[in-house]
Amino acid sequence: MSKIAHPSVQPPARILSRVVRTRSRGMATMNQNRASSKHAETVLPRLRLAAIVCMAASSSLCLVSILAWPLQRAHAAADVPRDSATKQMVATMMANENAAALHRDHYVYLSKERSDRTGGHVWTEKVVETNVGRVRMLLTEDGQPLSPDRLAQERGRLAAIVADPDAFARKSQATKDDEAHARQMLSLATKAFLFDQPRPEGNFLHIDFHPNPDYETQSIEEHVLHAMSGTLLIDPQSMRLHRIEGRLPADVSIGFGLLATIHAGSSFSTTRDRLGQPDWKTTQLDTAINGRVIFFKSIAKNEHAEHSDFVRVSNDLTVAQAVAVVEQP
């Protein structure tokens, strides 16, 4: 809120003498309107004197500012600390997430996914985390076990990974998973978004967020993420993130729509649950991104994934060791 400039309460002598003469000439009128004059006498002397100075300077806006100032100050006192406290809560959660990411344990788990990658089918995969990427093995498709030929293809793919782990690592680093959207949005959180007051939702704190109009985005992806509104669910005991959801309330155009347009309604969400101290793992992912890119080519990214049956593995597994684990019955 911009500061309001308040007039001096010590007017120059010439203005005071003019004010005295004006008051003398108006005394008869004031006596005739004693009822209204009595009400005027209840106004604080400092505000009345300031108002007289403002009228002498022909500044009605100054009087309005003086009378409005106490109310504006009250609103500022109520809003600023509340927004600051919510932002501090989000910053604490982000610090905890960043610290946990530096010491993240690895797991083997089951993943059920329907997405563009699976061709719209439901794939059940066994997944092993390594330092260079996730090793996956397809177990069933649409609830049915793989045919002998399909199983042989899957084992051949895993053998190729063992034969060239560097190629697997490069491909894994180049493929940005949907959890990256959550991490990037969190990294923008305190500077790119404004937060509403937290409210309870079950065992968590619910915080709505929306774009900060003063933030200038630094990339195309930031431009899209910054246009989203959404919610955070934070565990108040550990101050860790349970869920983040972002959605576009309106179309986002890049290059006046010539380069790309992401349509309203596009969204993503990530849900995470506590496995043990300090581990929280993603248990559900949902992504629905629709739009068009250069030359009006349609784009779509749709995914729903559920992760379960987490079991700890060594943090130092090689790619070959991860393949051996994923092939175990």
Residue 5: count of CB within 10 angstroms of its CB: 7
pLDDT at 119 over 80: yes
Q: List pLDDT tens digits, range 133-160.
A: 999 999 999 999 999 999 999 999 999 9
The number of helix segments (H) and strand segments (E) in the chain equals 10, 14
pLDDT at 9 (0 to 100): 39
What b-and-e string marks burial along 98-123, b requiring 16 or more CB atoms within 10 Å of the CB? eebeeeebbbbbebbbbbeebeeeeb
pTM of the model: 0.71
Residues in Cβ contact with 38 at an 8 Å cutoff, skipping those fewer than 6 apart: none
- 135, 322 in Cβ contact below 8 A? yes
Q: What type of residue sits at position 98?
A: N
What is the rounded distance in angstroms from the CA atom of residue 189 to the CA atom of residue 212? 10
Mean pLDDT is lowest, of 103-112, 143-152, 178-187, for 178-187
Alpha-carbon distance values, 318 to 172, 245, 248, 250 (Å): 14, 34, 40, 45
- Cα angle 95, 98, 102 (rounded to 5 degrees) comes to 140
* Structure token digits, residue 274: 């506590």
Mean pLDDT of 28-39: 46
Confidence band, pLDDT 50/70/90 cuts, at residue 221:
confident
**Residue 83 pLDDT > 80, yes or no?**
no
Task: Report the pLDDT averaged over residues 42-61.
Answer: 37
Q: Quick check: 248 and 262 in contact, CB under 8 A?
A: yes
Looking at residue 238, its amino acid is S
Least confident of 151-155, 246-250, 251-255, 278-282: 251-255
Residue 134 has φ and ψ, to the nearest 5°, of -95, 130
**Distance between CA atoms of 229 and 245, rounded to whole angstroms?**
8
pLDDT at position 13 over 90: no
What would the two tokens of residue 284 be? 């559900």
If DSSP codes are grouped into helix, strand and coil, which group holds residue 38? helix
Preceding amide of 11 cis, omega within 30: no
Rounded distance between C-alpha atoms, residue 251 and residue 302, angstroms: 17
- Predicted confidence band of residue 220 (pLDDT cuts 50, 70, 90): confident
Structure confidence at residue 191 as a pLDDT band (50, 70, 90): confident
